[in-house]
């Protein structure tokens, strides 16, 4: 980040009203270019798809997910920077990737909020007789290596999805249309890309769309990806690695969990094999989570990010 790029709003104000390249073209360029670069990198890595760790399907899955998410992350960040420079008058700092005054605070607040939300979901599933929990140490030793790899993979995957869904595409739609329109479009897309996950249902897709709205609110509240990444990371880690629950139908995150879980058959409550994201408790908790993000006074736009988005142009009125 240079001082001229991040803090010089006089030049930004002069150019902000210039019409940007067609928004549809921008979004298509982003996704097509990201896919092309990802495919190119994959093609350059020999035997990528054959990576296998003996006697551990979960570690094999985690390592492969690490590489695929890392490559996608590199591609999408690169394309985001290229697109914002080619198609817009906005600065790369406005993408929300870089540190700012409350960057770490927002991240850790997001982690705590999601831990609380998932804990409430797990508690209600237990109280209502939908899920039983067992201490995992009675069955196995906690693997520090497994936990570390799981955390790294979840972090990279969460940041990757935030860059894709709350990064350049969301911001471009919001700038050219409105924050509400951008939230509806990207959250719907976010839900639909999870439709092929194991055991996905109409209800799980609806909840994933709602989760997309929740994460969009996190972005618009701070104009940074820090809070949303903390929420996303902690949501997946808490659900899969602390409580041993399926995460969007994925069970590999349970391999090194602190608790084991057993579904007792109330699919409307627990989401069955898809996990809590397919259940009614999550719907209620996400709605409360959206309200919490809107009302929580500690969450606000940092001075650096505010300078990237003049209120008269971008920020919704109170």
What pLDDT is attached to residue 313? Answer: 40
> Encoding tokens for residue 294?
């809107």
CA distances from 302 to 13, 89, 138, 224 (A): 18, 21, 46, 9
Identify the pLDDT of residue 231. 98
Q: Concatenated DSSP letters for 157-204?
A: HHHHHHHHHSSHHHHHHHHHT-HHHHHHHHHHHHHHTTTTSTT--HHH
List of long-range contacts for 145-151, beta carbons under 8 Å, 24+ apart: 146/58, 146/59, 146/255, 146/256, 147/241, 147/256, 149/59, 149/62, 149/63, 149/66, 150/62, 150/237, 150/240, 150/241, 150/253, 150/255, 150/256, 151/237, 151/241
Structure tokens, 84: 């914002």
| pLDDT (0 to 100) of residue 203 | 92
Q: What is the pLDDT of residue 114?
A: 97
Name the helix (H) or strand (E) containing 131.
Answer: strand 131-135
Residues composing the chain: 318
pLDDT at site 154: 95
Where are the chain's structural domains? 3-14+22-307
CA distance 100 to 281: 35
What pLDDT score does 5 carry? 39
Rounded to two decimals, the pTM is 0.87
- Give residue-wise pLDDT tens across range 17-70: 456 778 999 999 999 999 999 999 888 876 665 666 666 677 788 888 888 899
Residue 16 is predicted with a pLDDT of 47
- pLDDT at residue 44, as a whole number: 83
Residues of the chain predicted below pLDDT 50: 1-17, 311-318
pLDDT in tens, 287-316: 999 999 999 999 998 888 888 875 434 444
């Amino acid at each position: 980040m240079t001082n001229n790029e991040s803090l010089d709003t006089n030049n930004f104000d002069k150019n902000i009203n210039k019409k940007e390249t067609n928004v549809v073209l921008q979004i298509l360029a982003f996704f097509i270019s990201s896919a092309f670069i990802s495919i190119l990198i994959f093609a350059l890595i020999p035997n990528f798809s054959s990576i296998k760790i003996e006697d551990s399907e979960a570690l094999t899955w985690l390592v492969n997910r690490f590489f695929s998410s890392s490559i996608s992350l590199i591609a999408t960040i690169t394309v985001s920077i290229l697109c914002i420079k080619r198609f817009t008058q906005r600065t790369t700092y406005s993408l929300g990737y870089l540190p700012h005054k409350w960057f770490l605070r927002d991240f850790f607040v997001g982690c705590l909020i999601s831990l609380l939300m998932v804990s409430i979901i797990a508690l209600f599933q237990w109280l209502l007789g939908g899920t039983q929990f067992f201490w995992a140490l009675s069955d196995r030793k906690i693997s520090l290596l497994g936990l570390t790899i799981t955390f790294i993979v979840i972090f990279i995957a969460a940041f990757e999805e935030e860059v894709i869904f709350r990064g350049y595409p969301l911001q471009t739609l919001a700038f050219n249309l409105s924050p509400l329109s951008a939230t509806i479009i990207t959250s719907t897309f976010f839900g639909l890309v999870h439709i092929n996950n194991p055991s996905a249902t109409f209800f799980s897709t609806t909840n994933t769309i709602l989760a997309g709205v929740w994460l969009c609110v996190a972005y618009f509240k701070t104009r940074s990806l820090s809070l949303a990444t903390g929420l996303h990371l902690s949501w997946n880690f808490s659900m899969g690695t602390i409580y041993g629950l399926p995460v969007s139908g994925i069970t590999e995150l349970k391999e090194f969990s602190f608790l084991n879980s057993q579904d007792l058959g109330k699919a409307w409550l627990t989401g069955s094999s898809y996990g809590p994201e397919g259940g009614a408790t999550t719907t209620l908790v996400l709605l409360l989570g959206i309200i919490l993000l809107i009302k929580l006074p500690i969450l606000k736009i940092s001075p650096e990010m505010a300078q990237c988005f003049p209120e008269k142009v971008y920020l919704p009125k109170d």
